[in-house]
Amino acid sequence: MSQFAEKLACIDKNKFIKNTVILLTLSLTSAWIYANTQKPKWYRYYDSKGVANISTNVTPNHIRYGYEALDQNMQVIQRARPYNVEADIKQAPQRAIQQQCKAEDAKLKRAYTNSHIATQKKKEALTQLKKQIAFQQEQLKQLQTDRITFVRQEREIARKGKNIPEHLKLTLDTNQKNIINQKENIQSLQSRYRNMEAEYDRIISRLKALE
């Protein structure tokens, strides 16, 4: 390469570096100006008479009437609505309900993820309860069958004019109590089934609404 070519390449390289530095400087300067322009310098609110009040900080009156954040050129960069204490107090119960609903929704999402999984869990839980109910019903059927046998024995002994043995009386009494308890167990399981089904339906419906 000739000395002229080397000199020319050197000039182009220096020119490129110089232009890059200039562009970088301008970019940083613009960013600094933008950041400082966007930073609030003043806060303005209008009172009940429409009079503008400006200060360098937010006061209770700013919050009460609502205010505007201004940059160093007095341009509005942000607005805050007036704060109404009475309205806020009235809305507090509603906000509490909304927060509770959000918490419950989050809990449902953690527990079931989505409505499809909740539907599967519902099916599994109700299937288990159905099995329990069917088993208890079989037990009740057996107790009732046994009672028929015990009652027949009691009647046969009475027909012969004999005294009913104490052990048979005790057996009949125990059998009757077991039948009552078994019916109560079945009713309890059936009630639990209905409640569980309704609860899962509510959960699935809510999860579908969130999807």
Dihedral in degrees, nearest 10, Cα atoms 10, 15, 16, 20: 140
Tokens of 180: 């009552």
Average pLDDT over residues 18-27: 43
Q: Residue 125: what are its φ and ψ, rounded to 5°?
A: -65, -45
Tokens of 8: 């020319």
Q: Are 56 and 39 in contact (CB under 8 A)?
A: no
The residues, any chain, with a CB within 8 Å of residue 78's CB and separated by 6 or more, are 40, 68, 69
Sheet of strand 42-46: strand arrangement: 52-55, 42-46, 67-70, 76-80
Res 26 pLDDT > 90: no
Domain definitions of the chain by residue range: 1-38, 40-83, 114-210
Average pLDDT over residues 31-53: 74
Tokens of 193: 């089934």
Average pLDDT over residues 1-16: 43
Residue 38 confidence class, pLDDT cut points 50, 70, 90: low
Neighbours of 17 (CB within 10 A): 10
SS (H, E, C) 38-100: HCCCEEEEECCCCCEEEECCCCHHHHHHCEEEECCCCCEEEEECCCCHHHHHHHHHHHHHHHH
Strands 42-46 and 76-80: unpaired
Fill in the amino acid letter for 195. Answer: N
What is the structure's pLDDT at 33? 45
What is the structure's pLDDT at 196? 96
Please write the tens of the pLDDT for every residue from 54-100. Answer: 988 888 888 888 899 998 888 899 898 888 767 777 777 887 888 88
